[in-house]
Each structure stands twice: as structure tokens, then as C-alpha cells.
Amino acid sequence: MKRDAKDRAAFTRRALLIGTAQFGIFGAIAGRLYNLQVAKHGKYALLAEQNSISERLEAPLRGLITDRFGTVLAGNQQHWRALFMQALAPDPQAVLDNFYRLVPLPDDEKARIAAELAHRPGYIPVLLKDYLDWPDMAALEVNTPDLPGVVVEVGASRSYPFGPGLAHAVGYVARPNQREAAADPVLSLPGMRIGRTGVEAAQDAVLRGVPGFVQMETNVHGQVVRQVAHDPGTPGQEVTLALDAGLQALAVQGLKDQTGAVVMLDASTGEILAMASSPSFDPSLFDKGVPQATWNAWMADPGHPLQNKAVSGLFAPGSTFKPTVALAAMKAGTLTAETILTCPGFFKLGDHVFWCDNHTAHGSITVTTALQVSCDVFFYQVALGVGIDRIAEMATLMGLGTDLGVDLPDAETGLVPTLDWARQHGIHWVEGSTVVQGIGQGYTQLTPLALATMIARVATGSAVGPHITRRIAGTLQIGSTPGDWPVLDVDPAHLAVVRQGLFEVVNTPAGTAYADRLDLPDVQMAGKTGTAQVHDNTAAEKRQGFNDLTMAWAARPNALFVAFAPYDNPRYAVAVVIEHGNYGGVAAAPIAHTLMTHALTHDPAGRDVPLGGGGA
């Protein structure tokens, strides 16, 4: 017990000593506080008043989009803009009033500025006006003392050197909307853009980059005295497309003012070398805001200029579907290369008569000849023999009516009907429905991109998938070399039979595209024309002697052409669809002819710029 008391006294001594030391340290802290807060108050109060260094975030430069040779397809253009940093202005409203006096703004812009000022944190400046002109600049410069917190600086906006020619494939950017800016504060930075369509949308995350910051020293009036530090952030990465700007220009020229789409692929990799859709629009308008009148005109245009018809346009494939029907029948064993069927010019099923094109009688022919002359009656019979489900099965193998996984937004899958599909949609499927399926009419709806994929697969026997992005920040993407793709699950002998037929289409006088054979030595193109009805002529119209050339534009058939070349060593595949262009051999094949000739003489798929050489 005594010992306890002794221990306790010793502890109390030590605890008191520790407490005294702690009290002493608190005293020292209090002394330091007195020194800082009272003795040196004058010095620090002055520093606080002059303070001084403010920081704001800055939008990164958006990554470039180039074609496979480094030609810039989407770049950045510099312009002057005025920003406002609220924190630097003693009386923000007075500054805004002064600004509006010098640079008048419409009321909706003033409302936007007021809303943004109310919600933004201090380090995110608010955009007052983009695209300042010289009178604006001069007025702001002269009145700087009245405008504390207003910063005039260089900003970047998106530019599209090829304008409407690449509007669909490359896409466009626009200012983020309120909801997007709320979800990701970085998007509320002045100058930030968000990709809306095309590659700009598909690769938005890659192109966007990471914001940097600017640190400025400001004087007591909130004016920037000097820039202390500048971190430009990380610019977005460069996206190199498989596109060849030269081929693209030819595709755009080929379409001219017609409505339609052109897709050219590297047949062995599925790389998209050209992708045009017509009519088109000016993609740079979205950066500043599309004028209402222009928008209204786009909406009223029956050609739907904003739609990328190459990936979202759905068309009946017409006779370009015949190779798929032939492959399905050969796989099922209902058709061989030697099978001979007779075409008297019509095909009778029950009491319904299906006519061959122009009521021509093609006689007794094989499948190659049927493809060559595009005999409908031959394929009516083949389709009936193989059945609708097996046709759809082969179509899926060939990339038709299935998701191709293309790296572009808004891609449509299309439709190749099956009996299940018909049941689910309450459609009574009759044999006649299968008959017209043989010539790509009826319910079948496909995109030009799918048709190009199909002909590339027929050409190479490789299950290539279409894609447009070749490199990201210089790194070659998977799918850009032929070895990346599996072998197509179709008998090569069957493919050879079809290719023979397609060869004869272009290279024999009786072929439907003989006029557009290549005039290159030792190189041949193989292809298939298509003319797809979009309108059933009524009995009354028939009596009046209506034909395709005399009927209204919107009722005329679509013209299609798919092709590959060279015949003996396929490298390129192309699909052309001209809406209401009448005969595929007349309206669509010449465009393919031009593109193939250019591709075969310049060989873009065989060339690539070395790494790092892709810069602008």
C-alpha cells in the first residue's frame, strides 16, 4: 500500500511535468499566433489584399483526327475569346454591365452567363463571348480598368478542312449541354466540346484530353499582372483513321448531288478507306451553333443530310443479295455449279406470276450465268428450294442483317427475315415471300456498310468486320492487319463459283456492268448490280405505261453496285447505293469504277506512313 502511494506520487510528478511541457508548447504556439496575427498583421493584411495568385482550369486541345497518311481531317483553329473570372471581380454584376455595354450580347446568352456564374466553382471561368472580332477586342483592350476579372485569350475551336465531304464519317463536336456539364464538371470549361456523331463521338474519350491550369498573379483591381505558371494539360490523343482522303474526295465527287452512300473497304482487313453519304452538311456549324434557318432546311430535306446513310441508311439490296442466296443454296446442297434451271421470262407460283426483269427469257442457265445476266427467275427457284431460314443463316455469315461492331455510332443492323421473325411480327409468311427474297426484295433491309462487308467476305473468304480507326496515338488497332480476322465459314469452292459469276458481270459483254469494266492492264473488277423496287406500280399506272424513268423521283428504284478487285487477288471492296437512281449498272457502277481505278493505281491499303510521321 505504501509502495502504491510512492508510485502514485512519482506518476503524478511525471504527469505534471509532461503537462507543464505541453502547456509550454501551447504557449509557444500562442506566441507564434500573436506574432503572426497581431505583431505582423500589417504585413499579412497587405499580402492578403494584394493576393495575388489565382488559378483556373484550361480546356485541353482536342486530339487531331487524320486520314491514314496524316492528312488532318479534324483539327483545331485558334480564335480570340473573352472569359470571366468571378473571383477576381469585386463587383461581378458591374463588370458584366460594363462588358455588355462594350460587347452587346443577345438576352439568351446573358441568361446563360448568369446561370453559369451562379453554379460554377471559382476555378472554372465562364465564357462571355467566343469568336471575338477586332472591334470587340479593341473595345475590351481600351476599357481594361473597368473589367476586372475579364480575360481575353486565345481559344481553340474545331475545324474540318474537308467540310461536308467528311461530315458523316468524322462527325462533329458541339458544346456540351447543361446535363452533360453537370455530370462532368470538366465539360463546363469554356472550349470543351463533346463529339456528337462519327469518329468524334466514337472516340470522344480518347480525343478529349485532360485539362491543364493557368496560374496568374493579379493586382488589387483583379487584373492579371502576369502569368505565373501554365500547365497545358494533356492534349487529346491523335486518332488516325483508315480513310484515304484522296479516295474519299472521289467518292464525294461520284455521288455529286445524288442521294446515296459509298463505302470502300480494304477487303482483307475491313478497314474503311472511304465512306461518303449524300446529301451532306457543314460540320463546323455545330461548334458555333447552327443557325435556325439552316437547321430547318436540314430537317425539311427529303435526303436527310444529317444521316450517315452508309451505316444507318436501310435499303432493299435487290440483286446484290443474289450471291448470298447462291451460297446458301450451295451450302444446303440444293444448288451446284452445274445445276441448270430454265427462265422463260416468268415464274408461276400458284396463280401468281413473278416476272423476270423486263420480262426477258434467259433460257436454261447455270448459276454463274444467272449472276452474270442477273436472272430473277433462276433465283426465285433457288430461294424456294433452299428456304428462307437457310438464306438468313448464310446472310449472317456474310455480315448481312447482323451487328458488325463497327466503331461508329448510330450503326443500323438491318434485317434479313426468318420464319421466327415473321411469327414474332405477326406476318403470314407465304412461299411468294420466299420467292422475292431470292432477289433481295420484300422485307430485307441492309446498310451500304453491310453490303461492302458482304462483298469483301465473298472476295477474300475472310470474316472481316468493318472499322474506321486505324491508330490511336500511333498504336495500330487490332483488326488492321489481315491476320487479325478468322477464315469465313463458307466452302472456298462455293465462293469461287460466285466470284466467277461476279467476274462475268463486269468482264463479259452480256454482263450487266460490262460498261464499267476497268481499263487497267491485267487487273479485273468483279461485281454485282442491283436495282431495287421501292414502289409497287399499281394496275392503273401500268395501264398508263409508267416505267421507271417516267415515274416520280421518290418512286424510282434504288440503284446498287457491289464490287471487288483485283479479281484474282482481291484487295478492295466497294458498295454504292444511289437512292432512286434506277439501274445499278448505270448510276452506281461508274462510281465504283472510278474508286477502284484510283485504289488500284495508288494502293492506299498497301501504304502507311511510319510511326510518328502522321502529324499535321
Partner 1 sequence: MMMDSERLAPQRPFRDRSFGLMRKLLRVNWLFVLCVCLLAGVGYTALYSAAGGAPRPYADSQLFRFIGALVLMLGIAMVDIRQIAKISWPAYALGVLLLLVVMKFGHTGLGAKRWMTVGGMEIQPSELMKLFLTLGLAAYFRRATQERLNEALFLLPAVAAILLPVGLILKEPNLGTAVITAMIGATVMLGAGVRWWKFAILLGVMLVAAPLLYHHLHDYQRARITTFLNPGSDPLGAGYNIIQSKIALGSGGLTGQGYLHGTQNQLNFLPEKQTDFVFTIIAEEFGFLGSMAVLVLLFSIIAMALYTAISCGHVYGRLVALGVAANFFLYCFVNLSMVMGLIPVGGVPLPLISYGGSALTAVMLGFGVLMSVHVHRDVEFASEEF
C-alpha to C-alpha distances, 52 to 49, 94, 166, 224, 463, nearest whole angstrom: 8, 21, 47, 9, 63
Rounded Cα–Cα distance for residues 192 and 350 (Å): 65
Buried b (16+ CB within 10 A) or exposed e, 90-112: eebeebbebbeebbeeeeeeeee
602 near partner 1, judged by CB under 8 A: no
What is the per-residue binding string for partner 1 in 73-92, x denoting contact by CB under 8 A?
--------------x-----
Task: For residue 295, state whether it binds partner 1 (rule: CB under 8 A).
Answer: no
Q: Which stretch binds partner 1 (CB under 8 A): 6-14, 165-173, 269-277, 456-464?
A: 6-14
Q: Which of 1, 38, 154, 539 binds partner 1 (CB under 8 A)?
A: 38
From the list 15-23, 108-116, 134-142, 330-338, the region that binds partner 1 by CB under 8 A is 15-23
Rama region for 114: left / alpha / beta (φ>0; ψ in -120 to 50; rest): alpha
- Select the residue interacting with partner 1 from 47, 340, 430, 510 (CB under 8 A): 47
- Contact residues for 437 (Cβ-Cβ < 8 A; gap 6+): 321, 325, 383, 388, 391, 417, 443, 444
Residue from 24, 53, 178, 481 that binds partner 1 (CB under 8 A)? Answer: 53
Closer CB to partner 1, 1 or 552, in the complex? 1
The piece of 46-54, 184-192, 193-201, 232-240 that touches partner 1 (CB under 8 A) is: 46-54
Q: How many CB atoms neighbour CB 144 within 10 A?
A: 13
29 vs 340 by CB, closer to partner 1: 29
Asked if 615 interacts with partner 1 (CB under 8 A), we say no
* Residue with smaller CB distance to partner 1, 45 or 299: 45
Q: Which is nearer to partner 1, 31 or 291 (CB)?
A: 31
Beta carbons within 8 Å of 450's beta carbon, 6+ residues apart: 399, 400, 401, 402, 404, 414
Q: Which is nearer to partner 1, 20 or 144 (CB)?
A: 20
Size of the site for partner 1 (CB under 8 A): 41
- Taking the C-alpha atoms of residue 251 and residue 444, their distance in angstroms, rounded to an integer, is 26
**Shortest gap between Cβ of 153 and partner 1 (angstroms)?**
19
Out of 2, 49, 183, 338, the only residue in the binding site for partner 1 (CB under 8 A) is 49
- Going 211 to 212 to 218 to 224, the CA torsion angle's sign is negative
Which residues on neighbouring strands pair with residue 80, listed in sequence order?
Answer: 154
**Closest distance between partner 1 and the C-beta of residue 255, in Å?**
55
CB atoms within 10 A of CB 608: 18
Residue 496 makes CB contacts below 8 A (sequence gap 6+) with none
CB of 221 to partner 1, least distance (A): 14
- Which one of 93, 177, 178, 215 is in contact with partner 1 (CB under 8 A)? 215
The residue range among 7-15, 297-305, 349-357, 563-571 that interacts with partner 1, by the rule CB under 8 A, is 7-15
The verdict on 219 binding partner 1 (CB under 8 A) reads: no
One residue of 139, 186, 228, 476 binding partner 1 per CB under 8 A: 228
Task: Pick one of 44, 131, 355, 553: the residue that binds partner 1 (CB under 8 A).
Answer: 44
Stretch that binds partner 1, among 48-56, 167-175, 460-468, 551-559 (CB under 8 A): 48-56
Give me the DSSP letters along 315-384. B--GGGGHHHHHHHHHHHTS--TT--EEE-SEEEETTEEEEPGGG---EEE-HHHHHHHT-HHHHHHHHH
User: At closest approach, how far in Å is the CB of 404 from partner 1?
Assistant: 40
Cα–Cα distances in angstroms (integers) from residue 337 to residues 381, 465, 495, 553, 563, in the given order? 15, 28, 11, 39, 21
Helix axes 322-332, 376-386, angle to 10 degrees: 40
Asked if 16 is part of the footprint of partner 1 (rule: CB under 8 A), the reply reads: yes
Residues near 3 by beta carbon (within 8 Å), at least 6 away in sequence: none
For residue 210, the 8-state DSSP code is B
Q: How far apart are CA 296 and CA 299, in angstroms?
A: 5
CA distances for 579 relative to 105, 359, 559, 584, angstroms: 44, 24, 6, 10
Q: How far is the CB of 126 from partner 1 (least distance, A)?
A: 16
The crossing angle, in degrees rounded to 10, of helices 388-397 and 322-332 is 110
Q: According to CB under 8 A, which one of 36, 138, 427, 510 is a site residue for partner 1?
A: 36
Closest approach of Cβ 52 to partner 1, in Å?
8
**Smallest separation, CB 82 to partner 1 (Å):** 22
Q: How far is the CB of 12 from partner 1 (least distance, A)?
A: 5
Nearest C-alpha neighbor of 218 from the set 210, 230, 226: 226
* Of residues 161, 188, 165, 166, the one with CA closest to residue 177: 188
Phi/psi for 579 (5° steps) reads -65, 130
Q: x-or-dash pattern for partner 1, window 343-362, by CB under 8 A?
A: --------------------
3-state SS class at 265: strand
Sign of CA dihedral 513, 514, 520, 526: positive
- Residue closer to partner 1, measured from CB, 26 or 355: 26
CB of 220 to partner 1, least distance (A): 11
The answer to whether 37 contacts partner 1 (rule: CB under 8 A) is yes
Q: To the nearest whole angstrom, how small is the minimum distance from the Cβ of residue 44 to partner 1?
A: 2
Question: Is there binding between residue 19 and partner 1 (CB under 8 A)?
Answer: yes
Binders in 93-122 for partner 1, by CB under 8 A: 121-122
**Interacting span for partner 1 (CB under 8 A) from 2-10, 67-75, 379-387, 392-400:** 2-10
Smallest gap from residue 124 Cβ to partner 1 (A): 12
Are 233 and 465 in contact by the 8 Å Cβ rule? The answer is no
* Residue closer to partner 1, measured from CB, 27 or 104: 27
Q: Which stretch binds partner 1 (CB under 8 A): 22-30, 178-186, 258-266, 403-411?
A: 22-30
Q: Give the CA count within 13 Å in the CB-facing half-sphere of 89.
A: 25
- How far apart are alpha carbons 168 and 160 in whole angstroms? 12
Q: Which residues of this chain interact with partner 1, rule CB under 8 A?
A: 7-8, 10-12, 14-16, 18-19, 22-23, 25-26, 29-30, 32-34, 36-38, 40-41, 43-45, 47-49, 51-54, 87, 121-123, 215, 228-229
